[in-house]
Amino acid sequence: MKENGLILGIETSCDETAAAIVERGTRTLASVVASQIATHARYGGVVPELASREHLRAIVPVVRAALEQAGVTAADLNAIAVTSGPGLAGALLVGITYAKALAFAQELPLIAVNHLEGHIHAVLLQEREDGAAADASISRVAEEPALALVVSGGHTHLYLARPANGAWRYSLVGRTVDDAAGEAYDKVAKLLGLGYPGGPWIDALARFGDPLAVPFAFAQVKTKAHLAGKTPRTKAAKTAPIAQLDPRFMFSFSGIKTAVLRYVELNRMRPEAEARATRLLTENGGREKTVRPPQMQEEALALCSQATLDLVASFQHAVVGDLMKKTFAAAEVLSAARILVTGGVAANRELRARFSAEGARRGLNVAYPALALSTDNAAMIAAAAWPRLAAGEFASDDLTADPSLALK
């Protein structure tokens, strides 16, 4: 077997077709992401059948582009890594089938990667790329347990990640019992007539609003009530059981979405949002949701009233505050040596600023991936596969998609 440590990572779990070449889990030679945002934007969410079709179209050119960018051929690879779950079954299957065929043709080992482990490794890859691993404050805690918050469109999960002989082991500490935080961002943006996906829009607009204008509150989640014969209503419902989890570390984001809707209706803000959405639709030939979020205050005010800006700022302030409170509480209770924050919502500016400030206050290091590594990508999949390649942990021939794969 070649020993160059070159891993081709393939990621097709949701709405990005991605391929990357990463050397020894440390150096990214190429990372290509084909986004399907334009396809799903008009529906305000990911349509599974369309996602599979788009992955089928994109997979060959995306992998080819990654190899070209890296300046290598398939024959130079050491292994192929692919996301096997959690995610959309049909979407996952496109990546798995392609990865299997390529591995078979090139006689390469195939490594199955959990998407959530990939998100956690995005932070570790980032640290190695930055040379931060050599930084005394990080190398001191790198071998100790870290608390990882994976916060995206499909997940809001807290894990205790423990390094174990070069590999990592995870235990679930907390999770959402209903919507993921990113899902709440997307739904609130949709009801306000903003663009898709909602996270970057609310992130941009919140800077121009008063975060204390609307006092949204989060009550402690009652896990027992959710366990009374009911399965939690979330995309990732089966990826992690909620029994036995500490209620202090449980999240719930469906309530705040409803509270925003009620606020909009009570204050008669709905017609304004709808009028704006219609205007954007006509201005942009029906592709309103791919318009970029405003960057200047004048642009924001041309799009929204001050009341809407205050509302999104308050929504974001409350969501980030809740994520922060529970993450730091879990880190303290579990004596985590540091905090890793990753997933699409980790791209959020207010989230980064407030987590870092709180970390500094408590003397706890908080690390994030670069923005491009926060949202779905394949470099994180190739990076997560590196310890498995080193340990010879390969996928069997009957590897298939596991939409509700749990992280252990």
Q: Is 182 in the site for ligand KG4 (CB under 6 A)?
A: yes
Q: Which of 242, 347, 364, 389 binds ligand KG4 (CB under 6 A)?
A: 347
Task: Measure the CA–CA gap between 220 and 233, rounded to whole angstroms.
Answer: 18
Instruction: Indicate which of Zn ion, ligand KG4, none lies near residue 322 (CB less than 5 to 8 Å, by partner kind).
Output: none
Q: Is 95 in the site for ligand KG4 (CB under 6 A)?
A: no
Q: Which of 198, 211, 232, 387 binds ligand KG4 (CB under 6 A)?
A: 198
Query: For the purposes of burial, counting CB atoms within 10 Å of the CB of 220, is it exposed (0-12), middle (13-18) or buried (19 or more)?
Result: exposed
Beta strands 365-367 and 338-342 are parallel
Q: Is 376 in the site for Zn ion (CB under 5 A)?
A: yes
- DSSP for 2-18 reads --S-EEEEEE-SSSEEE
Smallest CA-to-CA distance from 316 within 289, 288, 345, 294 is with 345
Q: How far is the CB of 375 from ligand KG4 (least distance, A)?
A: 3
Q: How far is the CB of 377 from Zn ion (least distance, A)?
A: 9
Long-range pairs, 94-97, Cβ under 8 A, ≥24: 94/12, 94/17, 94/52, 94/55, 94/56, 94/59, 95/10, 95/11, 95/12, 95/13, 95/17, 95/55, 95/59, 96/399, 96/400, 96/401
Task: Measure the CA–CA gap between 243 and 367, rounded to whole angstroms.
Answer: 29
Span 350-379, contacts to ligand KG4 by CB under 6 A: 375-376
Task: Measure the CA–CA gap between 49 and 118, rounded to whole angstroms.
Answer: 24
Residue closer to ligand KG4 by CB (options 108, 341) is 341
Which region, judged by CB under 6 A, interacts with ligand KG4, from 99-107, 180-188, 214-222, 237-245? 180-188
Span 12-41, contacts to ligand KG4 by CB under 6 A: 14
Q: How far is the CB of 82 from ligand KG4 (least distance, A)?
A: 16
Length, in residues, of the chain: 408
Binding mask 100-139 for ligand KG4 (x = CB under 6 A): ----------------------------------------
Instruction: Indicate which of Zn ion, ligand KG4, none lies near residue 402 (CB less than 5 to 8 Å, by partner kind).
Output: none
Binding site for ligand KG4 (CB under 6 A): 14, 152-154, 182, 185-186, 197-200, 203, 343-345, 347-348, 375-376
